[in-house]
Amino acid sequence: MTKKVLVISSNRLGDCILSSGLNSFFKNKFKDAKVFFVCGPIPGDFFKLCKNIDRLIILKKRKFSLHWFHLWKLIFFNYWDCVIDLRGTLISFFIFTKTRKVYRIRSNLHKVKEISRLFPGRDLSPNICFNEKKVKNKNFLKLIQKIALNKKLVIVAPSANWVGKTWPIQNFCSLLKKLCKNSNFKNCCFIIVGPQNEKESIESLLKLKSLPIFDLVGKTDLAEIFLIMKKSRLFIGNDSGLMHLSALAGIPTVGLFGPSDSKRYHPWGRKTLAIKGPKSPSELMGHKEFNPKKVNSLMKDLTVNYVFKELIKFYKNCYD
């Protein structure tokens, strides 16, 4: 008899990637499992190509939180064998299921480890089971594959979902200039990625004519970026969904951290590194006057020289 499993995941790309091991877990556990996966529009654009998902439900936010009522109507008339609610909502208590698992933050463990604790003894590392054949947009991939024949590809993601989590763009400019002068990065090409709405804030980086830069900001989708990442030698970027996408692609991934907790959200995998500034998240955000809507970068104390030294050391360890 078919086992029906519902996973209510996030509206953020990074959190969906960190929870993606659940899909393969159920597919491996039950040969006849049907996995329904709920997420937001941005991760949905990528997860629609996941072989481990039988039905993708993309939940768009509505006024007065009516999106949850809409979801309830979609799933109520099913009898589920297991419901995993990673959002910690009440909706999972109003549907019929044999087993119910509701995610709660109970420790300072990495999120992947916390999700794995829902099923003790299991390693639920991210696993997307990506269907490359269904990727429609491959124009930039073909072009970049030609560039990769003669140059080392380095993905750079200078944006994030909140300005406080972004390393100052002038620091990215200085870092790339230093890397170009280093023997490990001679004959490289920096591929800049990010959403279109962030382009203005990183314009100074894109205009650096002295650097070998390929601008992909807002020009393609997550699926093609993922395939380009697989052809690349390194990822450098802020704590973001693109950072987790890079770690999922299996390439050396360096994430820059400030106000977000690197213990809980560092890129997952063997060839990964989280570089954080000297101040803890509580030191950066714990004061009474803190207002997340009125801040600029909270990562100004993370110096270019420190990032450069740590990055070079990491890169050598990956390829020596």
Sign for the CA dihedral angle at 224, 40, 56, 267 comes to: positive
Contacts of 184 (CB under 8 A, 6+ apart): 312, 315, 316
Q: What is the pLDDT of residues 196-245, one digit of tens each?
A: 999 999 999 999 988 999 999 999 999 999 999 999 999 999 999 999 99
Q: Give the confidence band of 14 by pLDDT, cuts at 50, 70, 90.
A: very high
Tokens representing 177?
């200039």
Alpha-carbon gap, residue 214 to 256, rounded angstroms: 21
Question: Of 291, 194, 298, 176, whose CA–CA distance to 240 is shortest?
Answer: 194
Q: What is the pLDDT of residues 169-193, one digit of tens each?
A: 999 999 999 999 999 999 999 999 9
Q: How far is the CA of 27 from the CAs of 9, 30, 31, in angstroms?
A: 17, 6, 6
Alpha-carbon gap, residue 254 to 94, rounded angstroms: 41
Alpha-carbon gap, residue 203 to 129, rounded angstroms: 35
What share of the chain has pLDDT > 90, as a percent?
A: 89
pTM above 0.85, yes or no: yes
Q: Give the confidence band of 257 by pLDDT, cuts at 50, 70, 90.
A: very high
Question: Of 113, 84, 111, whose CA–CA distance to 8 is shortest?
Answer: 84
Specify the pLDDT at position 111.
96
Specify the pLDDT at position 117.
93
Q: Give the confidence band of 105 by pLDDT, cuts at 50, 70, 90.
A: confident
Average pLDDT for 138-164: 96
User: Token match 């004519």: residue?
Assistant: 209
Average pLDDT for 138-145: 95
| 3-state SS class at 74 | helix
Q: What is the pLDDT of residues 282-315, one digit of tens each?
A: 999 988 889 999 999 999 999 999 999 999 999 9
Average pLDDT for 51-66: 93
Average pLDDT for 140-165: 96
To 10 degrees, what angle do helices 169-181 and 304-319 make? Answer: 50
Which region, left, alpha or beta, applies to residue 88 given φ > 0 means left and ψ of -120 to 50 means alpha?
left
Instruction: Count CB atoms within 10 A of the CB of residue 305.
Output: 10
Would you give the distance in Å from CA 265 to the centre of its chain?
10
- Cβ-contact 96, 103 below 8 angstroms: no
Tokens representing 39?
């997420």
